[in-house]
Homo-oligomer: A and B are copies of this chain.
Amino acid sequence: MRRIRVMHFGLGPIGAAVVRQIAARKGFRMVGGIDIDPRKAGRDLGEVAGLGARLRAPVWADAATALEAARPDVVVLCTHSSLRRAAPQIAAALAARVPVVATTEELAYAVPQNRTLARRIDTLARRAGVAVLGTGVNPGFVMDALPIVLTAPCEKVHALRVDRVQDARVRRLPFQQKIGAGLSRAEFRRRVRDGSVRHVGLAESIHMIGDALGWKIDRVVDRVRPRVARRRVASRYLSVAPGRVCGIVQDGFGYEAGQVRIRLHLEAYLGATETYDMVRIDGSPPLQVKVIGGTHGDIATAALVVNAIPRVLAAAPGYRTMRDLPLPSFFRAGG
């Protein structure tokens, strides 16, 4: 089987994790990277991704040059959470007629304010004759695709709730910073306001679930609060004194006609006593499904991206979501 030629656009922690996963799997060939960081461009992809081995594939600063030179079968895009910021990069790949799998949280599903942009991407993708997918562990799986699948055995669904609770001590430092660990309460509030502390994706997951289940979600509330340490709590990287913030509690509510249909509850903080994901379906039959120990965020996001690649290559051209593609699964190349 011909190996799938992959271009890695964005070589931060997740982009680098994708490189390392692909390096360990058959069926792929990494043909290069793209990163605006001047310290990365010009170096070898394996070196930039911390692979401990050279890949004989360069990192370019410019997308068009990279795509022209390396002729990939797919672009893995791990740059921004914001669809507005990722859109020009997606457009660059589509201009070269290359399909895209992105971790762009806002691409996981088009919320109403992003629909115009999503339609533009859909048009470009159809013209290019290739598919574009946004995926990842959350949004993309734990709080949307998985609960959606779990409604398949139901004759009725009244409401749906997902809890994702994580002890952030085992996660990487940027994650611990992203959830505000170590900040004062005032700093936390400021960071929530400027958007640098918050999980992006609850509204996307809510709309994906709503559309799957036939609910007309007319209002989404996304509320962020700090989790404050009662006693000192520490990770490898950070030590948080009592009274300071050790993480985040975030709730997304999806309403249909004044009624909460969907509640997504996220807790990620240093010192959570149990890490788990839980889906509860209020329906017939009722269902309560627990991922004991949770779904590991960093491995899972990179794995969902890699596992989606063959499906995106086979998909009908256009903007696709996890709802459209055949049953997701681990992918192992044959032979």
CB distance from A209 to the nearest CB of B (A): 9
Closest to A330 in B: B151
Q: Is the CB of A330 within 8 A of B152?
A: yes
Bound-state Cα–Cα, A287 to B304, Å: 14
A154-B326 contact, Cβ under 8 Å, with A288-B292, A292-B289 = no
Name A1-60 residues within 8 Å CB distance of B.
21, 24-25
A155-B302 contact, Cβ under 8 Å, with A145-B149, A327-B149 = yes
Q: Answer yes or no: A324 CB below 8 A from chain B CBs.
A: yes
Cross-chain contact of A295 among B153, B212, B322, B329 (Cβ < 8 A): B153
Q: Is the CB of A329 within 8 A of B153?
A: no
CB distance from A184 to the nearest CB of B (A): 33
Bound-state Cα–Cα, A198 to B307, Å: 35
Q: Is the CB of B290 within 8 A of A289?
A: yes
Q: Is the CB of A287 within 8 A of B295?
A: yes
Query: Which residues from B are CB-within-8-Å of A288?
Result: 291-293
Best-surrounded residue of A146, A304, A325, A333 (most CB of chain B within 10 A) = A146
CB distance from A21 to the nearest CB of B (A): 5
Query: Which residues from B are CB-within-8-Å of A301?
Result: 153
Q: Is the CB of A303 within 8 A of B155?
A: yes
Bound-state Cα–Cα, A189 to B36, Å: 69
Q: Is the CB of B153 within 8 A of A141?
A: yes
Closest to A160 in B: B330
Question: Can you give 9 A-B contacts (C-beta < 8 A)?
Answer: A21-B155, A141-B153, A145-B149, A145-B327, A151-B329, A152-B308, A153-B299, A153-B301, A323-B329
Please provide the 9 A-B residue pairs with the shortest distance between their CB atoms, ordered closest to farther: A214-B332, A153-B300, A151-B330, A152-B328, A285-B296, A155-B303, A288-B292, A148-B329, A212-B329
